[in-house]
Amino acid sequence: MKKLFLMIAVLFAGLTVFTACGDDNKNGGFDGDAKTLDYNSSNAQAWGNYMRVVANLLKEDATTLYNEWNTSYNESGKGYADVFKEHNGTAGFNSALNCVEQIIDGCTDIAGEVGSAKIGDPYHEYLKGNKEDALFMVESWYSWHSIEDYSNNIRSIRNAYFGSRDGRVAEASISAVVASVNEELDNQAKELIQGAIDAIENIPAPFRNNIDADEVAAAMDACADLEDFLDNTLKPFIHENSEINTDEVLDPVVKNYVDVVVLPTYKELQEANTQLNNAVIAFQTNPSDAAFQRCADAWFTARTPWESSEAFLFGPVADKGLDPNMDSWPLDQAGIVQIMKSKDWAALVWTGEYDEESETIEQVQALRGFHTLEYLIFKDGKARKVNN
């Protein structure tokens, strides 16, 4: 297991947090629990501070992720992009085939997660009669952005397979290599990928209000079919086919994947989270309904490259805990309210070596990231209002 050091001083560099002044009531504006709590004049400063800290952490995590791929992995002076493309044993990759198998494994993992967990968990919980529990399992339900998230997850598979980000098949791609020896198999892959996207987008929106719809079961099945194909048909086919499983054939595929898919996606993520942070700073400086809406728009924009990267959740994003830092779900809603009450912003940063089995780190990660900011920005699928 690889480790990571994250220092508070680094993540909070340049961050200004305002101290809350006197509250208008004895509860400091925090009447009720996370389900009923809303932005108001009494808790406005704490609310804005929380948004500011979380947005800054997202920006820093996105910057770290891009820099680890592009510039220097583990302070080695060589980016993970080069480590992956060279596949000389560093990070466990000894051939281009190893790299392509990792790409397919990433696609398989997210296909399974979308179908069985993101869609399947709330669906099965709802059928048990636990409707409220099912609702709280739905990722991105504050913003009503679930269907977009899930379909972008499958687009991340398409991008990895096509070797592009625009829906076209690149010459140096897994798709093109497979088609060169088995066009029918390549067509099957394309149909299953698009079928999963279409099935997800056929779910009536918002998903949180349609958890038991017939289209939900169809989407789960489409994701399961894609997962099975990737793991049990596509990966073995490439592994066993001597015409295409060589470095000579697959090296260009790996290079194109890194340079055309991964790096531009992470660069867009870095830029979008910088703009999201700027929108949050502007809101904190001058709260208004329009500023809340700009935060919501910026959140949507930043969310797209993240969800479109989930087919490649390996390397720095996993090693350094950046995935759960940015995208932990479900949230600790009661903990979020407690942080706003205590104003203990340092509690949002863990220190020391990253360990994915650490409950302490996991608890911190459940109080920050995209979904915490989503909770603070959105209510019933719309940007919150300053005056309720």
Q: Is the separation of the CB atoms in 52 and 17 below 8 Å?
A: yes
- 17: in domain: yes
Select from 243, 259, 275 the last residue of a domain.
Answer: 259
* 50/121 same-domain check: no
* 246/101 same-domain check: yes
- 388: in domain: no
CA distance 139 to 130: 16
* 290/378 same-domain check: yes
Count of structural domains within the chain: 2
Positions in the chain whose pLDDT score sits under 70: 1-35, 388
- 86: in domain: no
- Residue type for position 240: E
The model carries a pTM of 0.92
* 158/105 same-domain check: yes
* 138/218 same-domain check: yes
* 100/76 same-domain check: no
pLDDT value, residue 27? 47
- 286: in domain: yes
Q: Is the separation of the CB atoms in 189 and 270 below 8 Å?
A: no
Q: What count of other Cβ atoms lies within 10 Å of the Cβ of residue 198?
A: 14
Q: Is the separation of the CB atoms in 101 and 87 below 8 Å?
A: no
* Residue 208 DSSP code: G
- 172: in domain: yes
Closest by CA to 243, choosing from 190, 185, 157, 163, is 185
* 107/186 same-domain check: yes
Domain that holds residue 239: 92-259
pLDDT value, residue 259? 98
Phi and psi at residue 29, to the nearest 5°:
80, 15
Sign of the Cα torsion 342, 346, 352, 356 reads positive
* 212/269 same-domain check: no
- 3: in domain: no
* 123/220 same-domain check: yes
- 246: in domain: yes
Long-range contacts (CB closer than 8 Å, 24 or more residues apart) made by 284-293: 284/18, 284/48, 284/49, 284/51, 284/52, 287/44, 287/48, 287/386, 288/386, 289/383, 289/385, 289/386, 289/387, 292/377, 292/383, 292/384, 292/385, 292/386, 293/383
CA distance 230 to 19: 52
* 128/143 same-domain check: yes
Select from 228, 259, 290 the last residue of a domain.
Answer: 259
* 197/234 same-domain check: yes
Q: Where would I find the beta strands (DSSP E) of 253-376?
A: none
pLDDT value, residue 32? 55
Select from 216, 240, 259 the last residue of a domain.
Answer: 259
* 187/221 same-domain check: yes
pLDDT tens digits for range 56-73:
999 999 999 999 999 999
pLDDT value, residue 268? 98
pLDDT value, residue 301? 98
